[in-house]
Amino acid sequence: MHEERSGRMALNRRQLINVGLGMPIAGGAFDVFGQTAIPIGDMHFHSFFGQSTYHSRPLAKTLSDGGASLVAWALVGDLLWFDTKRYRHRDTPKPGEALGWLERELTRIRAHLAEQKIKIVQTATDVDLAERGEPHVVLAVEGASFVENDPSRVRRAYDLGIRHLQLVHYSLSTLGDIQTEPAQHNGLTEIGQQVVAECNRLGILVDLAHGTVPVVHDALRISKAPMVWSHGSVSAGPPPHPGLITWKARQLPLATAKAIAEKDGVVGLWALSNDIGKTTQSYAERLLELGDWLGDDHVAFGTDINGLAANALFNSYVDLRRVVDHFQSQGMPERRIRKLAIGNYARVLRQAFQGRQA
């Protein structure tokens, strides 16, 4: 589970970070150091995010420029019902509104992917192809507001192509509590538990991001497949709470992150400059620190590209490529880099798909 940790000892982390950050971007099949280019995976990014100027259209060029091939396009399921300036709950959708929003936005997303000739991940075979460098998008939903009180709607999402489902976001939810509002349910509701079980049955990866600690532990108790915390950061300090500034409220306590890892899950690191810092160096260092805490099998990119506006450290996959190229330049073993860059996300997707019973 935690193999290659001895390999880490051969590299002083400070030395690894402080050298070579200005190198050129890899191009073609080989980078400037003669090593095979490693594809990039990302557990969480956005496009068509409201009227944001940080959108990534056209997507094919964005992926190609950075060598990204397995990225989760997160449709914001509650976008119309939370305050996008304060990142707090605003109101509750009327019956059927969130499902209608999901269906309309997925139609728009799928049309763009078809126009760009980008394949959608539907099976483990698609994940295999993406891990070998063929560009694929995982259709994801951030905040399952469309469920309302009907867990059977998860099947509708699956039929529409969703393979990665984040239970909650910034709006109050019938599924469970969120980090940025006072708790209402003390964890997952009965509906939320049924949604986790239905995701397991259908073969959808469950994403715990934005959920409270009790939500995470309830899901870990129920789920038969590993899960992810797609984007955020981990704090070894005092437990976060809703009264904090939003990004601090959104941090994941270290003990909870370890619980996700112990169930073979993966935690993604976002690129929020307020939290991670303002340089590629700071992101690389935090990623390695997370690997130290959780093990290299349980860490991944979860950039939140296009969802962080002016506070984004990365606005394209060219930016993220610099992290991978830097690790290669310092002699980090390729197998280790592949885990962090794409392998861990690919693994949990496969595990979710393999559990499908329907």
What's the token pair of residue 209? 């991001």
Please report whether residue 7 resides in a domain: no
DSSP for 28-68 reads TTB-TTSPBPPPEEEEEE-SS-TT-TT---SHHHHHHHHTE
**Alpha-carbon gap, residue 314 to 311, rounded angstroms:** 9
pLDDT at res. 4: 38
Which is higher by pLDDT, 48 or 167? 167
CATH of the domain at 127: 3.20.20.140
In a domain, 270, yes or no: yes
Which of 6-15, 126-135, 241-250 is least confident?
6-15
Report the pLDDT averaged over residues 92-102: 97
Residues 182-228 have pLDDT tens digits of 999 999 999 999 999 999 999 999 999 999 999 999 999 999 999 99
Q: What's the rounded mean pLDDT across residues 97-122? A: 95
pLDDT tens digits, residue range 233-274?
999 999 999 999 999 999 999 999 999 999 999 999 999 999
Give domain status of residue 6, yes or no.
Answer: no
* pLDDT value at residue 50: 54
* Residue 110 confidence (pLDDT): 95
Range name among 143-147, 162-166, 235-239 with the lowest pLDDT average: 235-239
Mean pLDDT of 290-306: 97
CB 131 within 8 A of CB 349: no
pLDDT digits (tens, 9 = 90+) for 13-65: 444 444 334 333 333 333 433 345 899 999 999 986 555 444 556 899 999 99
- pLDDT at residue number 58: 84
Per the prediction, the chain carries an average pLDDT of 89
Give residue 47's pLDDT: 87
Question: Is residue 8 situated within a structural domain?
Answer: no
What's the rounded mean pLDDT across residues 125-142? 98
Least confident of 167-181, 234-248, 319-333: 319-333
Grouping H, G, I as helix, E, B as strand and the rest as coil, residue 128 is helix
Residue 339 tokens, joined? 């885990």
The pLDDT > 90 percentage for the chain reads 83
CA angle 249, 46, 128 (to 5 degrees): 110
Mean pLDDT calculated for residue range 167-180: 98
* Structural domain for 270, as ranges: 14-19+27-354
Residue 160 has a pLDDT of 98
Domain membership of residue 318 (yes or no) is: yes
Residue 58 lies in a domain: yes
Percent of the chain with pLDDT over 70: 87
- Pairing mode, if any, of strands 40-45 and 228-229? unpaired
pLDDT of 222: 97
The count of domains in the chain is: 1
pLDDT score of 119 more than 60: yes
Distance CA 182, CA 178 (A): 8
Judge whether 176 lies within some domain. yes
Given this model, what pLDDT does residue 329 score? 83
263, part of any domain: yes
